[in-house]
Structure 1
Amino acid sequence: MNRYKMIALDVDGTLINDDHEITPDTMHSIRRLAEQGTEIVLCTGRSPSSTLPLLELIGIDGTIITHNGAATVESRTRRVLHQFSFALDRIAPYIEYCRRHHIHFDVNTAFDLYVEDASVLTDEALEMYGRFYIEPQTLPSAEQLGETIVKFTVFAEKDELDRVEKEWEQWDSGLHMIRSGDFFIDVMHGEASKGNSLREWARIRGIERSEVLAIGNYYNDITMLQFAGVGIAMDNSPLEVKEAADDVTATNNEDGVHAALIKYCL
């Protein structure tokens, strides 16, 4: 008997393999649980636009926690249920830093992504955004933007981001910085995290913490692994992520999500 009413799944490095695919076994086990009434929640650093197609591919409806916890969206209506947002001027020092050091950045509202100048994007950047089903737009002024933002992301080589991360850790901006991958740093609202949004959604749904199972693989997953009744790290996770989890499953290239769901739920 499956005692978990909610299953939170990270996407990149967890749900999908290194070929950016969800394997048939993993899709089948997720569908089985959804058919039994288990609530499936994708919890990801991705935007809604690059997450909703994955739910459609699996063939289920659900709730997605996107932008590393900054925006929670209902899949059927595409309605934003909750978001941690802030004004564009809060990240002015970060934008100036990136311009000075020639580091690529983007600015995200719940559904849209903006870059400095969409007409001059490199092939590498276009390929990256295309892989995530994103069409970047040129960043307007704060007045023209008309809505608050949920995430500021920089994209560069790992060594360069290691240096940027060390510098930005010294800043007192009141914003929350997290490494969401070797090549990405996200800057968000101080309360935005996968764990906080998962906690709030479980509360709204009337689901106890002990009835939540979470699976992830990177530093941005630690808060949700620690919140869940059982938190499971992928075997391709860094050591700190494994240490924060209750169990470790196989890698994302070895159907680790499927193996965990079989072990704990099916």
Structure 2
Amino acid sequence: MTIRLVAMDLDDTLLRDDWTMSPRVIKAIQKAQAQGVKMTIATGRMTISARPYAEQLGLDIPVITYHGAMIQQVLSGDILFRCVIPSALATEIVEDVASRGVHAQIYLKDRVITPKLNDWSAEYARIASVRIEEDDLSIVLSQEPEGVEKILLMGEEVDLDQLAPLLRQCYGEKIHITKSKPCFLEITDGSVNKGVALAALAEHFGIDQSEVMAIGDSFNDLEMIKYAGLGVAVGNARLEIQDQADIITASNEEDGVAEAIERYVLNANL
């Protein structure tokens, strides 16, 4: 098996628990790039939050952000693909969850907006290193003609697990719902996920599905892990994700991404 394209999730996969990349991981990625393998990030984060890591790695191809709602050249800012939740639908959803007392944030290109700053928004800002704006979401959405890339709901996992089926029942195939972390319920347009975006990127480069490797840890990575010719779960991945992966590598704290690249990309290309 020859791997020509590798997509890596960021949080809890490429990044260690302190949100840094180990020297071994960086070296493996840069060595693979030097051999002509295309390396990219596939994350739920916004582009501005993913950019520092892409720059550190010297990634020269588009990255997948917002769980696949956008594919963007991270350095130039050129957008190859963007699919939004229409403003009217987004307004309905944020008003619905507000009535349920659930904290929500909307993502509009490189802006994050929430109706009220609180402990949840502070935690997200700390993780993603972004500034969160406080504003009336209905007003913001009424002024946005197209829509938003993503809606993030934050709360205790048990509460989000009860909410997700209610939202699916209410909005059906109009939206795609997934989890990136136990306390993050992520909503995008119904046609969007990392697997769809990765397939589009592979087609863009003329790379066959069998030549793609995807590495992740959580529910939002499931579609790209199942799409890839070689789907990899890091050792700290949720068991439901490990069960769907072709192989399981070491954890994010033990250089799992580097281990997978070294074994299935670099050694295979010797």
- TM class by smaller structure: over 0.9
Do residues 224 (structure 1) and 224 (structure 2) align? Answer: yes
1:224 is matched by which residue type in structure 2? Answer: M
Do residues 240 (structure 1) and 236 (structure 2) align? Answer: no
Q: 1:257 maps to which residue?
A: 257
Following superposition, the deviation at residue 146 of structure 1 comes to 4.0
Following superposition, the deviation at residue 141 of structure 1 comes to 3.3
Q: 1:149 maps to which residue?
A: 148
User: How many positions carry a matched residue from both structures?
Assistant: 262
Contact 2:90–2:141 under 8 Å retained in 1 = no
In structure 2, what is the Cα distance between the partners aligned to 1:217 and 1:180?
A: 8
Following superposition, the deviation at residue 9 of structure 1 comes to 0.4
Match of 1:134 among 123, 130, 137: 130
Which structure 2 residues correspond to residues 30-41 of structure 1 after superposition, within 5 A?
30-41=29-40
CA-to-partner distance for each residue in 1:106-136, whole Å, 9 max, x for gaps? 111232222114xxx1255224214312222
1:10 is matched by which residue type in structure 2? Answer: D
Contact 2:87–2:145 under 8 Å retained in 1 = no
Q: Compared with structure 1, are the counterparts of its residues 124 and 172 closer, same or farther at alpha carbon in structure 2 (3 Å cutoff)?
A: closer
In structure 2, what is the Cα distance between the partners aligned to 1:22 and 1:44?
A: 15
Q: 2:102 maps to which residue?
A: 103
SS of the counterpart of 1:169?
A: helix
SS of the counterpart of 1:253?
A: helix
In structure 2, what is the Cα distance between the partners aligned to 1:124 and 1:149?
A: 20
Q: 1:211 maps to which residue?
A: 211
Following superposition, the deviation at residue 193 of structure 1 comes to 0.5
Q: 1:184 maps to which residue?
A: 184
Q: 1:19 maps to which residue?
A: 18
Following superposition, the deviation at residue 92 of structure 1 comes to 2.9
- Please, what is the CA RMSD of the aligned residues? 1.7
Following superposition, the deviation at residue 42 of structure 1 comes to 0.3
Greater mean alpha carbon deviation, residues 33-42 or residues 126-135: 126-135
Match of 1:125 among 121, 125, 137: 121
In structure 2, what is the Cα distance between the partners aligned to 1:93 and 1:66?
A: 24
Following superposition, the deviation at residue 167 of structure 1 comes to 2.3
Q: Which runs of 4+ in 1 moved over 6 A?
A: none
In structure 2, what is the Cα distance between the partners aligned to 1:200 and 1:88?
A: 25
In structure 2, what is the Cα distance between the partners aligned to 1:125 and 1:189?
A: 22
Following superposition, the deviation at residue 74 of structure 1 comes to 0.6
Following superposition, the deviation at residue 36 of structure 1 comes to 1.8
In structure 1, what is the Cα distance between the partners aligned to 2:217 and 2:17?
A: 13
Contact 2:25–2:258 under 8 Å retained in 1 = yes
Contact 1:47–1:67 under 8 Å retained in 2 = yes
Which structure 2 residues correspond to residues 78-97 of structure 1 after superposition, within 5 A?
78-97=77-96
Following superposition, the deviation at residue 102 of structure 1 comes to 2.2
Q: 2:3 maps to which residue?
A: 4
Greater mean alpha carbon deviation, residues 183-192 or residues 137-146: 137-146
Following superposition, the deviation at residue 249 of structure 1 comes to 0.2
SS of the counterpart of 1:105?
A: strand
Q: Compared with structure 1, are the counterparts of its residues 167 and 248 closer, same or farther at alpha carbon in structure 2 (3 Å cutoff)?
A: same
In structure 2, what is the Cα distance between the partners aligned to 1:60 and 1:190?
A: 29
Q: 2:58 maps to which residue?
A: 59
Q: 1:163 maps to which residue?
A: 162
TM-score, normalised with respect to structure 2: 0.91
Do residues 74 (structure 1) and 73 (structure 2) align? Answer: yes
Following superposition, the deviation at residue 24 of structure 1 comes to 0.7
In structure 1, what is the Cα distance between the partners aligned to 2:206 and 2:58?
A: 25
Do residues 46 (structure 1) and 18 (structure 2) align? Answer: no
2:220 is matched by which residue type in structure 1? Answer: N
Contact 2:25–2:257 under 8 Å retained in 1 = yes
Q: Percent identity?
A: 29
2:253 is matched by which residue type in structure 1? Answer: N
Following superposition, the deviation at residue 38 of structure 1 comes to 1.2
